[in-house]
Structure 1
Amino acid sequence: MSTEFIWPVRVYFEDTDAGGVVYHANYLKYFERARTEWFNHLGIDQALLMRRNTVFAVGHIDIDFIKPARLNERLAVISVISKSKGASFITEQQLFRENDRENILCRANVQIVSLNLDSFTPCRLPAEVKEELQRVS
């Protein structure tokens, strides 16, 4: 069973459209911030990886917008690693209202690709990253 990471989100006015509903692109921001915080929590230092000529980029996203999130709501993003390969891994992420995991608002499967910073071509995941991802998946 995968180890999940939970990151809280608060919906601010700037996140919403004129009707007080979260604008669709902001769900991607919530997921990105949750992944960044998760990596920090795991000790994966993306700045250090950049100095070693490796960066992560989104290669593909499948996203389902199920129910709207609204102004001032407290939400949570839950992230798990579902697959790890040589140069990429897939995170499954779900967004819920805080304390209501039964009602998914949005979910995404996000493929993250390890890239050589100079050429932006795929490269193997650094060994310490691969080990950490295997530990939590």
Structure 2
Amino acid sequence: MDISQPVFEFPITVYFEDTDAGGMVYHANYLRYFERCRSEWLIQMGMSHSSLREQNISFVVRHVDMDFLRGAYLEDHLLVRASIAIAKKASLTFCQEIVNPDGDILCKAMIKVACIDSKKMKPRAFPQKIIMEFTQSDR
């Protein structure tokens, strides 16, 4: 599942609010980092969640498979990477990882995101533009 050539990278810094009582990044915050990366990727493609909502399009996380390998700590500078592992009509599976400056993988995940009609709250096909942008992106 390691990403040898990530399609999108997003830098983050660990802040005090991200850590637990032991000084490490609280485990749930890795999901937040992954979400920020996917959202920034969308923004870099000239889209946004709010503009998609205007078209009754929303993305929802359907499944997460995540492995925690090493800890991250206050003021660490990390890189969140993302690529598309599987593209289907109504879902995208992202391969994501968080690495430290030495390139050590701290956390990795496969995250399946479904496209839904936000009024009907039912699955729908991704607009073709989104599929093309995510699968052909070289960012």
- Identity of counterpart residues, as a percentage? 39
Residue aligning to 2:34: 31
Q: CA deviation at 1:3?
A: 5.1
Q: Is the 8 A contact 1:79 1:92 kept in 2?
A: yes
Structure 2 unaligned regions, length at least 5? none
Q: Which residue of 1 aligns with 2:76?
A: 73
For 2:71 and 2:6, locate their aligned partners in 1 and report how far apart those are by CA, in whole Å.
Answer: 27
Note the aligned Cα RMSD (angstroms): 1.5
**What code does the residue aligned with 1:52 have?**
Q
1:50 aligns with 53
In 2, are the aligned partners of 1:3 and 1:136 still within 8 Å (CA)? no
Q: Which moved more, 1:126-135 or 1:71-80?
A: 126-135
Provide the C-alpha distance between the structure 2 equivalents of 1:41 and 1:105, rounded to a whole number of angstroms.
Answer: 25
What is the TM-score when the length of structure 1 is the normalising length?
Answer: 0.92
Residue among 87, 90, 109 paired with 1:84:
87
Name segments (4+ residues, structure 1) moved above 4 Å: none
SS at match of 1:44: coil
Please show how residues 76-115 of structure 1 align to structure 2 within 5 Å: 76-98=79-101, 100-101=102-103, 103-115=104-116
Matched position secondary structure for 1:20 = coil
Q: How many residues align?
A: 135
Please name the residue that 2:125 is paired with. 124
- TM-score norm. by structure 2 comes to 0.91
Verify the 8 A CA contact 1:94 1:108 in the aligned structure 2. yes
Deviation of the 1:45 alpha carbon: 2.5
Q: Is there any run of 5+ residues in structure 1 with no aligned partner, and where?
A: none
Contact 1:7-1:77 within 8 A present in 2 as well: yes
Q: Retained in 2: the 8 A contact 1:2–1:81?
A: no
